[in-house]
Amino acid sequence: MATSTEWQLAREAAERYQQILVPTILGPAAQALTEWSGLQNGDTVLDVGCGTGAAARFAAKQVGSVGRVIGIDVNAGMLEVARSQPPVEGVVIEYQDKSAYELPLADQSVDVVLCAQTLQFLNERHLALSEVHRVLRPSGRAAVSLWCDIQESPYFHALVEAVARHINRETAMGLKAAFSLSRTDEIHSLVGDAGFQRIEMTVKQLDLQLPNLTDFVPRHISATPMSVGFNAASQAAQEAVVQDVLQQLVSYETDAGVNVPFRTHLVMATV
């Protein structure tokens, strides 16, 4: 079976994604994006590619009960998990199974669009950004996060290299695809070509504490498209992946696990 590079996860894998990756890596990254976006009380916010709802939930806390938050995704398993999360007090998040290429909102009806680590997985990136531009009100803005080059995030780099070395490169592509849109010039051109007038970019470094890697690495893989290839590999190959990552990250070790940097582009584009 080919490894998915679009992160289409079934319900069970989506639950592991929420339990394992959101608290440790993707939740802090989503929080950084929503804080960067400058949401205001009462805003209408659309989260494109919302996954299990991390960015949507942070947004709901900021816009309050007079605001509106809509999350869209084409992955039914992710949306099921998003809907199962405890409610944000005073706010109802509307989750819809819709495509980024045909947003279910009227022209000029949204104040802020969030796109947290999603654009790189889309085949029709320009079409998705054009749809984002369409639904934004005058002076509305899109806030987009995209991982920097994989070598700037040592844990991700070590894991992809270890999987490629001890299992195969096709399996490693299940994570490496997350870094397919990391060049600053390419990002800027893509957003500008969609009609946005003012584009601001910065790099945010998240120094995150990961749990003991002997346990965390297999659990992380189980919540990604790499799980199929990893589970099909021999026990020796699986153990070699873990040991390889441990060796590569020894300089980041702490008493509680490892404290390792993750670097992401944050992009603000105004209509």
125-135 and 184-193 are packed helices; what angle lies between their axes, rounded to 10 degrees?
A: 50
The pLDDT score that the predictor gives to residue 257 is 80
The pLDDT score that the predictor gives to residue 89 is 87
The pLDDT score that the predictor gives to residue 9 is 62
Nearest to 51 by CA among 14, 105, 93: 14
Kindly give the pairing relationship between strand 136-147 and strand 93-97: unpaired
Check: CB of residue 6 under 8 Å from CB of residue 118.
no
The pLDDT score that the predictor gives to residue 6 is 47
Query: 204 is written with which tokens?
Result: 């945010």
d(CA 222, CA 13): 7
Q: Is 139 left (phi over 0), alpha (psi -120 to 50) or beta?
A: left
Check: CB of residue 259 under 8 Å from CB of residue 252.
yes
3 state DSSP class of 260: strand
d(CA 154, CA 263): 9
Sign of CA dihedral 166, 263, 51, 196: negative
Burial of 145 (0-12, 13-18, 19+ CB in 10 A): buried
d(CA 21, CA 178): 14
The pLDDT score that the predictor gives to residue 255 is 84
Check: CB of residue 218 under 8 Å from CB of residue 238.
yes
CA distances from 151 to 47, 53, 155, 252, 262 (A): 28, 27, 9, 15, 10
How many beta carbons lie within 10 A of that of residue 192, not counting itself? 14
Question: What is the third-level CATH fold of 11-150+180-210+255-270?
Answer: Rossmann fold (3.40.50)
Strand partners, 3: none
pLDDT tens string for the chain (271 positions)? 344 444 456 678 889 999 999 999 999 999 999 999 999 999 999 999 999 999 999 999 999 999 999 999 999 999 999 999 999 988 889 999 999 999 999 999 999 999 999 999 999 999 999 999 999 999 999 999 999 999 999 999 999 999 999 999 999 998 999 999 999 999 999 999 999 989 999 999 999 999 999 999 999 999 988 999 999 999 999 999 999 999 999 999 988 889 999 999 999 999 9
List alpha helices for 167-251, DSSP H.
169-176, 184-193, 213-222, 227-232, 235-248
